[in-house]
Structures are given as C-alpha cells and as structure tokens.
Amino acid sequence: MKKNFSQTLKHLTKFSGIKLSALADFIGYDVSYLSKWCNGINHPSPKYITRINRRIATFIADELIKQDRIYPFFNEFDIRLSVKMTAENTKDRLTTEINNLLNDVYYHNQAEPIPEDNGQSAVSAASYLTIVGRTNIKKFFNTKIASLFSTTQEDISILITGDIVSLLSRNALLDFLNCCHFSSENVNIYLGCCINELKQSPDSFLPRLYNMLNKYININFYIYDDQNFAKSNIITVKNYFTMHYSMHKDNLIDICTYITDKKTVKEVWERTYEKFDFNCCILEPKDDIELVKFRSFFYLNSDLLLFCAKGFEFFLPAQAFKKLLSSSRDYKYSSDMQQTIQNMQITWEEQFGSSHIDFILPEANIIRYIENGQLTYGEIDYIASAQEREAQLQQLIKSMRNNPAINIHLLSESQPQNEDDSFKLSYYSNTKTAYLKKNKSFLRNCSKTIYLLRHPFLIDKFNSFFHDLQNKPNCHKFSAEDLEKIYKNNNALLYRIWKKNTPEK
C-alpha cells in the first residue's frame, strides 16, 4: 500500500537523521506543525505546499550529500534514475526527486478527510480565540490577561497601537491596569498618540495621564506619535500573545481575536514594533544619569515651573553641595555628574536671582521633608541635616526677598491613606523643555526614573495642568514675609523636629 504524506515525511526525517526542530527552523514553521504533519494530525495547506515541499527537499538533500548517502536513499525509497547523475547536477537531481516524492504522496491523498493546518497565514484552532461583545472582552482582559501578567516573572513588553487620548477618555485601560498585579520587575508599555487628538484633548486628559503615570510608577510607559500605525488596531505582548480588534464609535473594543501561536506572535510583534519609530516618541523613559548635561542647560531659562514630589533640593547651602559632590565620588558617579553638581550651585545662585519661578509643593511632601530631610538630587539620595534645612529655609526667604518673581505654592491635600494617593512624580519645566521625575522611594524594581517630554503640545498640556493647580481652592501662595513669619513663630518647634529626626552620625 502506498504511503501517505505523513508516513513519507516521517520516513524521510528518520532516514536522514535530521531533527524536526532544525527542519522547522529552515522552512520557517514552528516544530509543533511538523510534528502534527509527521503524525497525521494535520496536513500543510494546499496554498503553501509547493514552497513547503521544496524547502523540505532542499534541507534533506543537503543532509544526505553531507552523509554521502545519496544512492542508499534511492534504494530505500525505490527510486529508479532514468538519467545518470553527474557531480554537477547531484544536488539538483536529489532535491527534485525528494520534492517529487513529497508532492506525489500529498496530492494522491488529498481526498482523505485530514484537517488542514495553514501555519503560514494563521494558526491552528487551539491557538486563537475570537471574543465578541464589550462585556465579554472586558471580562477577558480583567481576568485571563490580568492573571497572566500577575503570574509572569519574565520581562513584559506590550505594544498598544490605540490612541492614548481615546484610551483615557474611558476607564477601560485604567480598569485593566488596576486588575494587574505585575510580578515582573521590568514592564514596558508602548502606546500611540494621535497628535490632532492631543491638541484638542479635553481638560480631563492630562489629569488622567498624570495619574496613570503616577499610580503605576513601576511601569515604563512610552508614548509615540501614531502616524505610522494609527489604523493597526493591535495589542501584542512580546513572546506571549497578540490581539487584533475592532472599535465601536465610543472607543470601546467590540470584537477581538486573541492569538497565542508563537510564530504569528513573533511576526506581529516584529512588524508592529518597527513602526514605533524612536524619532516619533513624545514621552520617553530615561535614567536620571542620562540627563546630567541636559540639566545644566535646563535652568538657564528665565521662566521655571517646578513641582516637587520628594524633598526640596533647591537653595541648599554650600556645605550640602560639598557633601553631594563627595557622595557622587563615593558612589563612583561619572565626572559629568560631579561637574553638574558644581555647575548647578553656580547656576541656581545666578539664575534664581532674576528668574520667574513657581514652586508647587504638596503639603504632605513638605511636612515629610521638614521631618526627615530626605531628598534626591539626580540619582543621589541625600539627607539634609537640621542645620542645612534651617540654612536652606533662610536662603529661600532671602532669595524671595531679592527676587519677588519666586513664588511658593503649597498644595493642601488630605493625608494619603496609601501610596496610590501620594504624589510620586515631580515635574520640571522651563516652558520649552520638561521632564517628570519619579520618587525613587516608591520604586520596587529597575524602572527608569525620568520621563522626558519630547513634543511641544504635550509640554503645553502639562504646563497648563500644573499652572491650573495654582488656582485650585486648596492651593495657597506664600510670600517671603509669610514664610519668615512661620519660621519665627515656630523656630523652636521646627528645630526640635529637625534635631529629633536627623540621624546620628
């Protein structure tokens, strides 16, 4: 009885001694497909069988030539040569005979009811799932996918081609993130942004964006101008799954197909990732050490907006700068960092004498700083002594007297009940350039510490958001006289707090 395709393929691989995994890599399929073909569970699709058989024949022919088993092969498979082979045409003849053998048994058995396995264009039925209806889709995201992220400790990289303005207009993205308890220490999420939507975004967009970045501080969010992938409708997670979806007019997903086939996931990830062009990145996570030179030029602008979520690193006395410089040497920071510390002391003394500066300080943060003196300068954690904090306050009052354009805004807030309620992201803007800085005390992993804003519209949105905070009923402006009065009336109490909370050396 003549063998079928599965039996012939299995016979060929066994005779040539090749590994299915090596053959699978050569023809561009996952080894699971070849295993099914050899065991008769599935057959390749007729659409791609010509290419598949030719590639299999080429690989096996090369192996048989290396093993010098050409004529034993012809005897094993009862192939009679009508024309004598020559040294020049051996490989072509052998490849052709193997290819003919595979084609013959494949088409001879096509009438048999064997299910088709089209690995080139899609995946096996077990590898994909279509979910219909927004309620079912929400449940799928918040249970199955959230559970996957909660149990996966490997690095997680997620590409979302959807527009961040639209995604945050509804709570779907934030609800999903709230269901995820990432076990991985390295989570990167890449998102799209329609610049026209950003221009016209409602007042609620920026608070939602800041709150997302603030709450999920251990995730690195990258945001890109979506001009290269605006209509892709893809969510793909490297090495795990890919999803293709359609949107309703209310910006919620109506239908989506969830695919776990490894080959398809890899191809979709690579094709999608290459569209996230670095030059189109408008919000980029970076390490603080990468901004040491940038920071020196940043403060040369005469109009500054500074929101401090941890400590207060400005107006430090000279002795504190000396200790910071010593710390940078002790921790072997680069010479650029040491030079920056020296430059910053000079820059602040010069620029802060004439610049317009709005400082916004959350009340809970400034109280903590008064108590413990903890601040972060660049990547250096520093504790200001009681004497340094007192000198710093005196220097601030003196500078405000000399430069009335320095403003202190204290943002009253209820005491945070948990870390989600805390301000964890500082904001530094000179109107033209801006960045967000993470409070490292909240970081539990190797997350990058800075978000560099790289688009003027996004900078304008953030500037407006923080300027608007100054007009809130719970935001109070303090003059030099106000601060001096508070200092004099509470000098003894402040000094006792400073002394009590300053660690002994």
pLDDT tens digits for 160-207?
Answer: 999 999 999 888 888 899 999 888 889 999 999 999 999 999 999 999
Sign of CA dihedral 249, 250, 254, 260: positive
The two structure tokens encoding residue 400? 């405000």
Does 56 or 416 have the greater pLDDT score? 56
pLDDT tens digits for 18-36?
Answer: 999 889 888 888 888 888 8
pLDDT tens digits for 163-176?
Answer: 999 999 888 888 89
Per-residue pLDDT, 239: 93
Q: Which domains does the chain have, with CATH numbers?
A: 5-117 (no CATH), 125-286 (3.30.870.10), 288-501 (3.30.870)
**What is each CA distance from 382 to 329, 362, 372, 378, 477, in whole angstroms?**
14, 20, 10, 10, 27
pLDDT tens digits for 99-154?
Answer: 888 888 887 655 444 444 444 444 454 588 999 888 889 889 998 899 899 888 89
Shortest CA distance to 284 belongs to which of 167, 454, 449? 454
pLDDT tens digits for 426-454?
Answer: 999 998 999 999 988 888 766 789 999 99
Long-range pairs, 299-303, Cβ under 8 A, ≥24: 299/344, 299/347, 299/348, 299/351, 299/430, 300/347, 300/351, 301/355, 301/430, 301/431, 301/432, 302/351, 302/354, 302/355, 302/356, 303/355, 303/356, 303/430, 303/431
pTM of the predicted structure, to 2 decimals: 0.71
Does 108 or 484 have the greater pLDDT score? 484
Q: How many CA atoms lie within 13 A of 416 on its CB side?
A: 14
